[in-house]
Structure 1
Amino acid sequence: MSQEVSDYSIYRRVVSQLMQGEEQLPSLPSITLDIRRALSDTQTSIGSLVHLISRDPGLAALLMKHACSALYRQSRQPQSLHEVIQLLGMREVDRITMAHSIKSLFTLHSPAHKQLFVEAWGRLVIKASTCAMLARLLSRITPEHALLASLLSEVGTLAVLSAFKDEAVIPSSELYYKLCREYSKPLSVIVLKKWAVDSEYIEVIRETGHWHFSRNQRLDLLDLVNLALYHALKERHVDSPLPPLQELAAYQKILPPQDFIGENGELSLVISHRGDIQAIAESLR
């Protein structure tokens, strides 16, 4: 047995143990729970929400950046957190709060641990930002809804790292991504059930990467997540065994002229908005 196979067997055992102990999986921060509780209360005023969000400067800054991003075409950008909440609305603030929390859940325990996280997070935010931009350009789904769905679909990718927080040896990038391919989906489902998120997000996870699956005739949340995933794989893994874009069930729902495919096999509208996508991603890093 090669050393790599032996190491992978050890890592698989560690991740399997993580999946069997829910208490080891990351929980949402208390500030996130407080904000989500306030957002679900119809009596909550914008003023009290501003006060609550201000307890988390990182979230306040993210909301401001997001409201000023390429997803919105405002003649006048919001100048205060109060105006940001008015622009985005309560539901979108809730979704961005969740997106912010995902990054803060995973404590980094070593330089190697941090390197794996930074690489994974960079890939996830590009995919999520692509998903948000596709939502704005192609559908009636709000960009924040699409962005959060994309991030939540790979919570398991980050949760895999939780298995190694007490380990002296961290897997190589290659073995880490191999573990993610095997465990990301089931871990994502376990974590999202623990967080009691909408079942819609869990259903998206189950069908992510199933290129030919379709629920209806109109572009839905799963379609956007799959289109974003496809383009992320196409950009980062040139040799990935992907079907031609035109074979995807999601692509077949895009109406002309937005369905134009460039020479590299990607949607031209993704290529032409790559700068905007990068700008959205920067706000999440």
Structure 2
Amino acid sequence: MSTQNALLTILVEKINNDTLVLPTLPAIALKVRKAADDPEINLNDMGDVIGQDPSLSARMIKIANSAYMGRSVKVTSVSQAVTRIGLRQIKNISTALAMEQLFVSKNDVVANYLQKEWANTVKIVANSMAVLQLYIARTKKREMSMDTMTLAALVHNIGVLPILTEAERHAEVFANPSFLDVAIDKLAGRIGASIMQEWGFGDTFVNVAKNWKDLSFIPEQLSYIDFVRVGAAVSGAMDSQKDAVLNLAIQRGVVAEMGELHSDEFEDLASAAKQIFL
């Protein structure tokens, strides 16, 4: 058996036996999500929860002051940031901002892979957000929210993490980019769906993680997966399917025409969104 097939066999067996170690959400993200689900929570209490993590606090202030929020008056405190962002959006945004903590490894090959994966993910997130912003501006439809879009795009390829963790445990055999690429292509969607379910995320996130690369999966109604696919295609993550993705996007009304994705407005929106994670 080739080492490539060995990795796939190990991963599939662990998936089928429910023994694959799935990543856990960073502690601060869990705290914020739990607090956000409390019907008695208020903005001051939420500010106190976020204030326990200096890094998240700083990033919340940054996002509150970003072009993403569309405000010119600067905020300088966590309480002001929470008030501006709002309780409804805090849950997803805080989770999104904490996600980078998962993309770390002590193995050089795996760490390099994770760094590239995070950079590619941020690019896809930024492009997906920009596509949705243009869609909302053009159609005036607001059934989809930017905070959910942000998190959906961030977790779209989350299934790579357990694969890379397994490679790290058997680095002498598996920490090889060519092996990892095959395993990720074959299994990341299935594993990603399991992670979303384990984390208690809804069908929106499960479907994105599981099916974003599978163009035979087409939701009846326009959904976040449509925007993730366009964001990925524009980012170069779906080169072999790029034309199909973009043609489908036009058919489904995600974009009006290709020129939107090459416009200065799109570039400006994507650049502003990317700054949130830098």
Q: Which residue of 1 aligns with 2:100?
A: 103
5+ residue gaps in structure 2?
Answer: 137-141
Q: Which residue of 1 aligns with 2:253?
A: 254
Where 1:99 maps in the other structure, the secondary structure is: helix
Q: Which amino acid aligns with 2:92?
A: R
Alignment of 1:173-252 (within 5 A): 173-211=177-215, 213-216=217-220, 219-233=222-236, 240-244=240-244, 247-248=247-248, 250-252=249-251
Q: Which residue of 1 aligns with 2:159?
A: 156
Contact 2:68 2:272 in 1 (8 A): no
* Distance of 1:14 and 1:61 partners within structure 2: 41
Q: Which residue of 1 aligns with 2:21?
A: 24
Q: Note the C-alpha offset of 1:196.
A: 0.9
Q: Cα–Cα, structure 1 residues 222 and 241, in superposed 2: closer, same or farther, change >3 Å?
A: closer
Q: Cα–Cα, structure 1 residues 246 and 225, in superposed 2: closer, same or farther, change >3 Å?
A: closer
Map Cα deviations across residues 163-207 of structure 1 (whole Å, 9 max, x no partner): 123223353333322211111100001111111111221123343
Where 2:243 maps in the other structure, the secondary structure is: coil
Contact 2:126 2:274 in 1 (8 A): yes
Contact 1:68 1:78 in 2 (8 A): yes
Contact 2:122 2:154 in 1 (8 A): yes
* Distance of 1:99 and 1:243 partners within structure 2: 29
Figure out how many residues of one structure are paired with residues of the other and give that number. Answer: 270
Q: Which amino acid aligns with 1:189?
A: A
Q: Cα–Cα, structure 1 residues 185 and 237, in superposed 2: closer, same or farther, change >3 Å?
A: closer
Alignment of 1:54-93 (within 5 A): 54-93=51-90
Q: Which residue of 1 aligns with 2:4?
A: 8
Runs of 4 or more consecutive aligned structure 1 residues displaced over 4 Å after TM superposition: none
Q: Which amino acid aligns with 1:222?
A: I
Identity of aligned residues (%): 20
Contact 2:103 2:115 in 1 (8 A): no
Is 1:267 the equivalent of 2:266? no
Q: Note the C-alpha offset of 1:79.
A: 2.3
Q: Which amino acid aligns with 1:74?
A: R
Q: Note the C-alpha offset of 1:53.
A: 0.8
* Distance of 2:19 and 2:98 partners within structure 1: 19
Is 1:46 the equivalent of 2:49? no
* Distance of 2:108 and 2:13 partners within structure 1: 24
Q: Which amino acid aligns with 1:172?
A: N
TM-score (norm 1): 0.83
Contact 1:212 1:247 in 2 (8 A): no
Contact 1:67 1:87 in 2 (8 A): yes
Q: Which residue of 2 aligns with 1:130?
A: 127
* Distance of 1:71 and 1:193 partners within structure 2: 29
Q: Note the C-alpha offset of 1:17.
A: 4.6
Map Cα deviations across residues 76-135 of structure 1 (whole Å, 9 max, x no partner): 132221121112111211101221333223441222221010011111111011111222
Contact 2:156 2:212 in 1 (8 A): yes
* Distance of 2:177 and 2:64 partners within structure 1: 34
* Distance of 1:126 and 1:54 partners within structure 2: 28
5+ residue gaps in structure 1?
Answer: none
RMSD in angstroms over aligned alpha carbons? 2.6
